[in-house]
Amino acid sequence: MNRNDLPSALLAANPAPDAEPGDAERLAAIRAAVDHRRHSVAVSSVPRRHGRRLAVLAGLTTAAVVVAVAGTRLWSSEPDPLISAAVAMDGSLSCGPTIEGYADPIRPDKARVRLFPTVLPDGWRLVNVFARSSTWPAACTLPSLMAADLGKEGVMRGGVWVSGPVDRITSWDEEGGVETNPKPVRTDDTLNSRPAVRYDWQNSTSWVWSDERGKYWQATVSGYPLDQARKIMAAVRTEGDQVVWSGERVPQLRVLHQRTGPRYPAETRTEDWYITLTDGHGDWIVNVRSGRLEPLAADLKTGLRLESVNGHTLIDWGSSLSYEAQPGSWADTEVRGDPAAVRALLAGLRQLPADDPRLDEYARKE
């Protein structure tokens, strides 16, 4: 299959339309591009911001998925002491509409995370492993606070995400933001006695405001009507770079992540570890991103279930699974065949020592 044979809908969704598919080493770059798109949509419902990286092009072979260009820098090399973010038309924070990912190769034995499967689904075998280093935005994509209302069996009924502080805020126009139907409603508002801009969209309410220092914050409350969203936000205040949570005001919400150290930097260094598997008919990739500054639980979305597998956090997205293999390292993969077998695969990931001969035996030839 060549590029012109691909369905028009797939071509339209391509995050890097000028690149040719078919080069598996470029998977890390498309991961960054798709992650950026995911973070540019408001937290409100599973089909929107809750969509996972792998679900975007689910069902395609590795060769068809990999379309972004490795080596393209995510950010300008010029240092900028100020942290900037863009506000999309739905009130979500993003890092701007023109970000492109890049991925520099790493020898498997030099990677920080070197996870190997100890359990494989019947009929599957390990093909190879490879690793990439990249830079990923932090301040404009990671929540400084995330609290969730968890119902029976860990299903999230609603929650709040607070991001910031950042130094500068810009706005996307309608063409630069995410197309939505119905369109979000933007309103001048007051939040906890501070002037704010409110964005109402579907079952979420978002606010953007500045603190006494002129630093900007953003919050999204999902799963509640406006009056209840205001009560939840009454439990939120900021002191310097910290978010202070008064949980006694909203006892139904449980804090799953709260940053207590310095504010997030504009960008952070990450590594991606890729495990390629095959059933003899097509390839299947497990992608582990390390260097995460927040726990996997902070990525939970309304309507999804927070689970624990052997003491490790797991989120079931339907067509894909996310598993916190170790602190700061998330494993993502599609669900193919028996979901229980895929869970067993993730739970069986184990770190290899740097001198393990399998790191050389299964290293992707590059």
Asked if residues 174 and 89 have their Cβ atoms less than 8 Å apart, the reply is yes
Q: Over 50: is that where the pLDDT of 75 sits? A: no
Q: What confidence score (pLDDT) does residue 96 get?
A: 56
Q: Over 90: is that where the pLDDT of 56 sits? A: no
224 token code pair: 């509640």
pLDDT tens digits, 180-204: 667 889 999 999 999 999 999 888 9
Higher pLDDT, 194 or 7: 194
Concatenate the DSSP letters of all residues of 139-180 into one string. Answer: TTTS-SEEEEEE-GGGBEEEEEEEEEEESEEEE--TTTS---
Q: Is there a cis peptide before residue 165, judged by omega within 30 degrees of 0? A: yes
Q: Over 60: is that where the pLDDT of 273 sits? A: yes
Higher pLDDT, 328 or 2: 328
- What predicted TM-score, i.e. pTM, was given to this entire model? 0.77
Please state, as a whole number, how many other Cβ atoms lie within 10 Å of the Cβ of residue 80. 11
Q: What confidence score (pLDDT) does residue 181 get?
A: 67
Q: Is there a cis peptide before residue 108, judged by omega within 30 degrees of 0? A: no
Interior angle at CA 227, CA 48 and CA 306, nearest 5: 45
Q: What confidence score (pLDDT) does residue 268 get?
A: 86
Q: Over 50: is that where the pLDDT of 12 sits? A: no
What mean pLDDT is predicted for residues 267-278?
93
- What's the mean per-residue pLDDT of the chain? 79
